[in-house]
Amino acid sequence: MSDDLIEIEIDGKSVQAKKGQMIIEATDTTSSYVPRFCYHSKLSIAANCRMCLVEVEKAPKPLPACATPVAAGMKIFTRSPYAIAAQKATMEFLLINHPLDCPICDQGGECELQDIAMGYGRGISRYNDNKRVVKDKNIGPLVSTDMTRCIHCTRCVRFGEEITGVQDLGTVMRGENMRIDTYVEKSIDHELSSNIIDLCPVGALNNKPYRYSARSWEMIQHETIAAHDCVGSNIYAHALRGTVKRVVPRENEAINETWISDRDRFSYEGIYSDERLMSPMIKKDDQWQEISWKDALIEIVEKLKVVENNSAAVLASPNSTLEEFYLLSRLSDELSISNIDHRLRMVDFTDQLNDPKIPLLGINIAEIENCKQIVVVGSDIRKEAPIIGHRIRKAALSGAQIGIINENINEYFFDVAVYLSESIIGNLLGLLSALNGEPPEEMRDIFKQIKPTKEQQKLAAILNSEDKKHFILGHLAINHPYASAIRLLSAKIAELTGAVLGFITEGSNAAGGHLMGVLPHRGFAGSSREIIGHSISEISENNLDLLLLFNAEPGKDIPNLSAEKLTDSLVIALTPYATENYKTTADIMLPIGTFAETSGTYINCEERWQSFSGIANPVGESRPGWKVLRAIGSLLGMSEFEFESSESVLDEISQRLKDTPMSNEINNFSLQNKINKKDLLDTHLVQSVPMYEVDSVLRHSASLQLTPEASRSDST
Amino acid sequence: MKSIPENLVCFNTFEADKPWTYETYRKHGGYDAWDRILKGELSPEQVIEEVKASGLRGRGGAGFPTGLKWSFMPRLQPIQKYLVCNSDESEPGTCHDREVLRKNPHALIEGMAIAAYAMGATIAYNYIRGEFMEEPIPRFELAVKEAYEHKLLGKNIQSSNIDLELHTFVGAGAYICGEETALLESLEGKQGKPRFKPPFPANFGLYGKPTTINNTQSLASVPSIIRNGAKWFKDIGVENSGGTAQFSVSGHIERPGNYELPMGTSFKELLELCGGVLGGAKLKAVIPGGSSVPVMPAETILGCTMDYDSLQKAGSSFGTGAVIVMDETTCMVKVLRRIARFYMAESCGQCTPCREGTGWLYRMLTRIIEGQGELEDLTKLVEIANKIEGHTICALGDAAAWPVQSFLKHFHHEFEYMVNNKGRSIVSIDDEVTV
């Protein structure tokens, strides 16, 4: 037995437990279940519900298993008459003021109180006085409240204090008047806030959009992957007869632990938006008409067959599945189109030949919290990837020093050691200078004028250590007009300080887009192209004859591609939604499924492949994107394109990758664009995309659009 | 009957004209002990041994040996340690700490200084209940100022290498803040909600640092112990209960008030000293140590001496020394309801049995008084009290349960009578007794 293990006895069975462990952690490794409400493995111990009282030999009273550390030789009885009596006593107290409204409570059927009451409650209450009633409060569009049901376990309060760092909820009053409250009427707005819905053991805090729309036992639980950032949080979607009713987290310690962002939880509402495109449409004499799938596909294939490859482009959402990317890539190869991309908001492509084959985080998501220094450049990390923001907060709480280099001042709920605002490039140059680094040749002149500020020197001093450190470039750095300069300077600083350089990419599958060759300069698996295709900016300037848009909305997903620039082009849009932008710019619209209506695979920012199956019935006549692409390919007469399922596409991808090994070493970045000295150090060169605007599904999620976060986005 | 010596320890300045001043305290031998420590004549170990030998037990209610408590502090660890004095006196019936603060604040300051020195604490707080704002707090603060002026507190006091900063903290008037860990939370600026133990404050106290919390009277007794020796103090009292006790006598009594008497004084002597039961009426019951300890019928308490062992043997507890006297006109059901209402109002609401149970007890008792009670309610009352006792984070749950258990044990017939007679009391008085 190793030093930190001790022998204890649980219900007569000898068990090994770790020193300092609480009894409940030890019993959870055995078949002895101790009932609990306030205890949660991710939160601090409160010991306030008193449900987990157990008998411990020689103890004068029953002890709470959640707050009593094990000791060598301890004899614990979780089911002795003494322990059961204590647990039943607590149950009776919890129930006297709890309303008997289970039949109309959304928590019914999945309620911890209901479940445990079955085992420990009485059939008939001995309480015949008036029950407590607590006024509900409005805490925003995402979480409903029925505070009369509250059993005061304070999980939600501790979640705010410990996980998000925003103490929105607390307890006010005392004794039986104690209640969970925001004190001042307000909504709870943190990007992870809605996790309190899952934490609440009763029906006090519930899912507002889902309210009264299904019972938990009627639904089927499907494993799937969240589709709005590069984290790939594991989720369950609960579907009632093929309609997604809600989304809850699926525990995965390596990625999202037990949390998901509000964005991942409520985006499903977008599936059922009124703006969904219900059938294929074609524009005839400026009028949209319904058309059959068959006719639409024939129409498209006719156009594709005759278009000149140099005058056609394919633009796909970074949220497309790996399979969709692959089929798009093969279609474009078949038609010799190299004007293909998924990096829809990028501006600076000058150094793209030196791009890493797959832009990744550089370390695993779970490793972030072990870093001692983390520098986040050009990123509103909390909004771009909430789970990564949470991991960084955990690192900060355990003592890591966090540096932020960003034009905008964003709010963080942990100590930021150094916050360098204003020009990102100016700050990186200052930091490089403070580290006594050499500037790139092209920036020598500007560098000479740079004197590191005190703050820059402070960050340099922090980075001057042997510890494990991480340098993260976010969306604003990637979409910056001088992105290549930022990347080059960051790489130099990372090299000087021994930090790992990583990227937070847009969408859920940018890694997949890169790997499948949905890029103008590279093909499948990083192979180089003979002809380098147009960049997005060139595509939008050049009035191409034909554009195939795959869930990429002009003006929204592709900010630089406005309607005016598309008047002369034939635009084929494969899209779940028929928005105004599509209606004015497109000529043919084909309805494709959202993330919930298709099967597929996402590669997350740590190169983790996660496949999922379709969980929702298709809305209207929409079809999974890969099936539509497969049909187009078949009609074009492509060989070996008869895929039966997304799995068969995935099999082919895996096989081909096995045949063509690829290294993902990061090249030496360079500076190809002419540095315009005038605006290099300017700020406001790039706009951040509001959190609930980043993709088409989110833009149609009704409840998310009601949040203060969404109204903030409108004003900017 | 022999005459009983009064005011030997904490109240020993009381007969003076202005008992609270520095000069008066000095005249009574005050700060002699502290002077000796500042001169280096006493080591911390000696102080702790002396207090242990004196038999001083915590006067806050639990009666834990003070010297032993001090020895739990990791004295030699080079980290910040704190001493906290609990002047949040709020047990119903208790009002003697207030007297110490008003009339002998320097004894408390010297006691705190000695305790802090013994445990290596360099910062001490006196947590005083907010209701003392009018007189006790200004008196105490004035005394602290005097002590600083006479270089008895501060940094490197009289070049002794001893540091002690003493601060007053005013609570907002919550019974629960008298619980030591709730007091620490309150002192840290949080809601006064008890912490679960372990860890105990000696390891993880104020701001997570080792902390000892002592009651006002315990600390104010320390200077006399050091000045006169442990034996002197121990001999005042009886076996297992050294020194004096302050009794706050209230209720149906001729001369209610605070009396400092030797431990082990018999109840009969105490009653006599206070002039007997009001109007010469017959004694019915006594709560000997503040509202939370079990009530004792007259025949039991009349055979008791007022010390820890005797009262415990008789089925109650010494508690805070607040003696609540009730004569035969008292309705025990109404008294219990009044007590139950107090615990319902003062429960912090943190843990389930106390939050839900105290209100349930109160409502059942109210129902009985309103004539809506049933005989099975009486068993239910005891059952609920049993389910609260020992199941909560702090002792407030026990404090709410003990009166219910003991009232129903000793005066079951009164409850039964009231249930059977639709709310009519066994005594003919309708007015509720003020406790």
pLDDT single digits (tens) A368-387: 999 999 999 999 999 999 99
Number of residue pairs across A and B with CB atoms under 8 Å? 90
A104 class by beta-carbon count within 10 Å (0-12 exposed, 13-18 middle, 19+ buried): exposed
What confidence score (pLDDT) does residue A712 get? Answer: 75
Query: Is residue B161 domain-shared with residue B262, that is, in the same domain?
Result: no
The tokens for A621 are 């006549």
What confidence score (pLDDT) does residue A676 get? Answer: 64
Instruction: Give the DSSP H/E element, type plus range, for residue A77.
Output: strand A75-77
DSSP E strands in A539-579: the ranges are 546-550, 570-575
B193 class by beta-carbon count within 10 Å (0-12 exposed, 13-18 middle, 19+ buried): buried
Q: Could you list the residue range(s) of the whole structural domain that residue B88 is in?
A: 22-236
Report in angstroms the alpha-carbon separations of A209 from A104, A244, B53: 16, 12, 68
Kindly report each contact of residues B142-145 with a partner whose C-beta sits within 8 Å and lies 24 or more positions away, as own/partner. Answer: B142/B20, B142/B105, B143/B20, B143/B22, B143/B105, B143/B106, B143/B108, B143/B109, B144/B105, B144/B109, B144/B168
Full-model pTM: 0.94
Min Cα–Cα distance to chain A from B385, Å: 11
B356, A96: Cβ pair inside 8 Å?
yes
Q: Domain with B288 in it: what CATH number? A: 3.10.20.600
A-chain residues within 8 Å CB-CB of B196?
45-47, 64, 67
B352, A49: Cβ pair inside 8 Å?
yes
Query: Coil, helix or strand for A484?
Result: helix
pLDDT in tens, A643-677: 999 999 999 999 999 987 777 666 678 877 666 66
The residue of chain B with its CA nearest to that of A152 is B350
Best B344, B374, B391, B393 member to test A by mutation, with max A CBs in 10 Å, is: B391
B390, A61: Cβ pair inside 8 Å?
yes
Best B351, B365, B381, B388 member to test A by mutation, with max A CBs in 10 Å, is: B351
Distance CA A440, CA B391 (A): 69
What confidence score (pLDDT) does residue A666 get? Answer: 65
Q: Domain with B58 in it: what CATH number? A: 3.40.50.11540
A178, B360: Cβ pair inside 8 Å?
no
Distance CA B87, CA B187 (A): 12
What confidence score (pLDDT) does residue A142 get? Answer: 97
The residue of chain B with its CA nearest to that of A22 is B198
Query: Is residue B348 domain-shared with residue B313, that is, in the same domain?
Result: no
Residues 116-135 of chain A with CB under 8 A from chain B are 126-127, 129-130
Query: Is residue B226 domain-shared with residue B358, that is, in the same domain?
Result: no
Domain boundary among B236, B265, B287: B236
Q: What percent of chain A has pLDDT above 70?
A: 98
In a domain, B4, yes or no: no
What confidence score (pLDDT) does residue A674 get? Answer: 63
Query: Is residue B209 domain-shared with residue B143, that is, in the same domain?
Result: yes
Distance CA B380, CA B376 (A): 6
A129, B390: Cβ pair inside 8 Å?
no
Residue A684 has pLDDT above 90, yes or no: no
What confidence score (pLDDT) does residue A443 get? Answer: 87
In a domain, B211, yes or no: yes
Query: Is residue B167 domain-shared with residue B220, that is, in the same domain?
Result: yes
A-chain residues within 8 Å CB-CB of B191?
171, 174
Query: Is residue B53 domain-shared with residue B108, that is, in the same domain?
Result: yes
Report in angstroms the alpha-carbon separations of B256 from B52, B208, B272, B278, B307: 33, 42, 12, 10, 20
What confidence score (pLDDT) does residue A660 get? Answer: 79
A-chain residues within 8 Å CB-CB of B174?
174
B-chain residues within 8 Å CB-CB of A62?
390-391
Q: How many domains does chain B have?
A: 3
Domain boundary among B265, B298, B327: B327
What confidence score (pLDDT) does residue A317 get? Answer: 98
The answer for residues whose C-beta is within 8 angstroms of residue A274's C-beta and 6 or more apart is: none
The pLDDT of A533-550, averaged and rounded, is 93
In a domain, B13, yes or no: no
Query: Is residue B229 domain-shared with residue B359, that is, in the same domain?
Result: no
B-chain residues within 8 Å CB-CB of A127?
360
Distance CA A585, CA A352 (A): 29
Query: Is residue B124 domain-shared with residue B262, that is, in the same domain?
Result: no
In a domain, B94, yes or no: yes
Among the partner residues A48, A173, A176, nearest to B351 by beta-carbon distance: A48
A178, B364: Cβ pair inside 8 Å?
no
pLDDT in tens, A197-230: 999 999 999 999 999 999 999 999 999 999 999 9
Domain boundary among B271, B296, B327: B327
* Dihedral in degrees, nearest 10, Cα atoms A151, A156, A161, A167: -100
Report the amino acid identity of residue B22.
Y
Maximum Cα interatomic distance, chain B, rounded to a whole number of Å? 74
Rg (CA), chain A: 28
Q: Is A93 on the interface with B (CB under 8 A)?
A: yes
Residues 158-187 of chain B with CB under 8 A from chain A are 174, 176
A50, B351: Cβ pair inside 8 Å?
yes
A-chain residues within 8 Å CB-CB of B189?
none
In a domain, B7, yes or no: no
The residue of chain B with its CA nearest to that of A95 is B356
What confidence score (pLDDT) does residue B431 get? Answer: 53
Low-confidence ranges of chain B (pLDDT < 70): 1-2, 428-435
Distance CA B248, CA B243 (A): 16
The answer for residues whose C-beta is within 8 angstroms of residue B70's C-beta and 6 or more apart is: B48, B51, B115, B118, B119, B212
Among the partner residues A47, A97, A177, nearest to B196 by beta-carbon distance: A47
Pairing of strands B283-287, B296-297: antiparallel
pLDDT tier, A567 (very low <50, low <70, confident <90, very high otherwise): confident
DSSP E strands in A480-530: the ranges are 500-503
In a domain, B8, yes or no: no
Min Cα–Cα distance to chain B from A686, Å: 43
pLDDT tier, A442 (very low <50, low <70, confident <90, very high otherwise): confident
In a domain, B282, yes or no: yes
Instruction: Give the DSSP H/E element, type plus range, for residue B211.
Output: strand B211-215
Query: Coil, helix or strand for B381?
Result: helix
Query: Is residue B400 domain-shared with residue B373, that is, in the same domain?
Result: yes
Pairing of strands A500-503, A469-473: parallel
In a domain, B197, yes or no: yes
Q: Domain with B342 in it: what CATH number? A: 1.20.1440.230
Residue A558 has pLDDT above 60, yes or no: yes
Q: Is A437 on the interface with B (CB under 8 A)?
A: no
Q: Which residue has the tokens 């009124």?
A: A274
Min Cα–Cα distance to chain A from B366, Å: 11
Query: Is residue B223 domain-shared with residue B338, that is, in the same domain?
Result: no
Query: Coil, helix or strand for A17?
Result: strand
Query: Is residue B34 domain-shared with residue B150, that is, in the same domain?
Result: yes
pLDDT in tens, B50-63: 999 999 999 988 89
Residue A495 has pLDDT above 90, yes or no: yes
What confidence score (pLDDT) does residue B342 get? Answer: 97
A-chain residues within 8 Å CB-CB of B172?
none
Query: Is residue B299 domain-shared with residue B208, that is, in the same domain?
Result: no
Task: Count other C-beta atoms under 10 Å from residue A123's C-beta.
Answer: 4
